[in-house]
Amino acid sequence: MNASSTLVTSRPDRSLTVTDRVARGLGWFSLALGAAEILAPGRLGRALGLEGKERLLQAYGGREIGAGVWALSDTPAPAIWARVAGDLVDLATLAAGLRGADDEQKRNNLVALAAVGGITLVDLLTALSLTAEQSERRGDTGRDYSDRSGFPRGVEQARGLAGQQAVPVDFQVTATAERREEALEPA
């Protein structure tokens, strides 16, 4: 039993694992980046040699916001995988921006490529680790509880043992033919 709790968290006295914390950090990062892409696509585009791609940047911003909200939920794994895919799209877009960029834009663009490359690695490791934790958790133990009736004398003996007298008057809400008959008879 102790072994099972160490499966999911390196420190059993803390419920959040390091991976969980990194996933949340990535969630906030997504929100911030998404906001920048949506609110200042012009400036970003100029800096990176992606002029004329403002709409695209805003769409990417929407994607980041979605991934961010999801990454902050209690099931972040799919959001981090979505971020990995998004990172690859970002890398391709940046690389495309290198063509026809001036020197300063090239420098900015290379810095951005390196940064996104780094983030991609973090995303990938986090996604892999979340997925690994999950499959450990889901792991079919092959256990079944078909011997746990909870009735020391068996189910058949237990059926109806409490009878209807256990239901107090203030909980009787069902219309039954018997109750109707009783109600029709004068007291």
Partner 1 sequence: MKALVWHGKQDIRHETVPDPAIEAPRDAIIKVTSCAICGSDLHLFHNCIPAMKPGDIVGHEMMGEVVETGSAVTNLRKGERVVIPFTINCDECDQCRRGNYSLCERSNRNGELADKVFGHRTAGLFGYTHLTGGYAGGQAEYLRVPFADSTHIKVPDGMTDEQALFLGDIFPTGWQAAIQADIQPTDTVAIWGAGPVGQMAIRSAILLGAKQVICIDRLPERLSMAEAGGAVPINFEDESVLERLNELTDNRGPDKCIDCVGLEAHASQHIDSMIDRVKQATLMESDRPHVLREMIYVCRGGGVLSIPGVYGGLVDKIPFGMAMNKGLTFRMGQTHVRRWTADLTRRIAEGQIDPSFVITHTAKLEEGPGMYRVFEQKQDSCIKVVLKPN
Contact positions vs partner 1 (CB under 8 A):
1-2, 4-9, 11-17, 20, 69-70, 72-74, 134, 136-139, 141, 143-153, 155, 158-164, 166-168, 170-176
**Shortest distance, CB of residue 2 to partner 1, whole angstroms?**
6
81 versus 116: smaller Cβ distance to partner 1: 81
Q: Which residues, in sequence order, are CB contacts of 62 under 8 Å at separation 6+?
A: 34, 38
What is the closest distance, in whole angstroms, from the C-beta atom of residue 78 to partner 1 in the complex? 11
- Name which of 34 and 97 has its Cβ closer to partner 1: 34
**Closest approach of partner 1 to the CB of residue 185, in Å:** 20
d(CA 5, CA 1): 7
User: Which letter, b or e, does each residue of 85-108 get, where b requires 16 or more Cβ atoms within 10 Å of its Cβ?
Assistant: ebbeebbebbeebeeebeeebbeb
For partner 1, give the closer residue by CB, 52 or 176: 176
Measured from the CB atom, the residue of 16 and 92 that comes closer to partner 1 is 16
Could you tell me which of 80, 91, 85, 81 has the C-alpha nearest to residue 25? Answer: 80
Residue 16 vs 89, nearer CB to partner 1: 16
d(CA 151, CA 162) in angstroms, rounded, equals 13
Q: How far is the CB of 11 from partner 1 (least distance, A)?
A: 8
Residue keyed to tokens 């007291």: 187
Query: What angle do helix axes 18-39 and 103-138 make, rounded to 10 degrees?
Result: 140
Closest approach of partner 1 to the CB of residue 28, in Å: 13
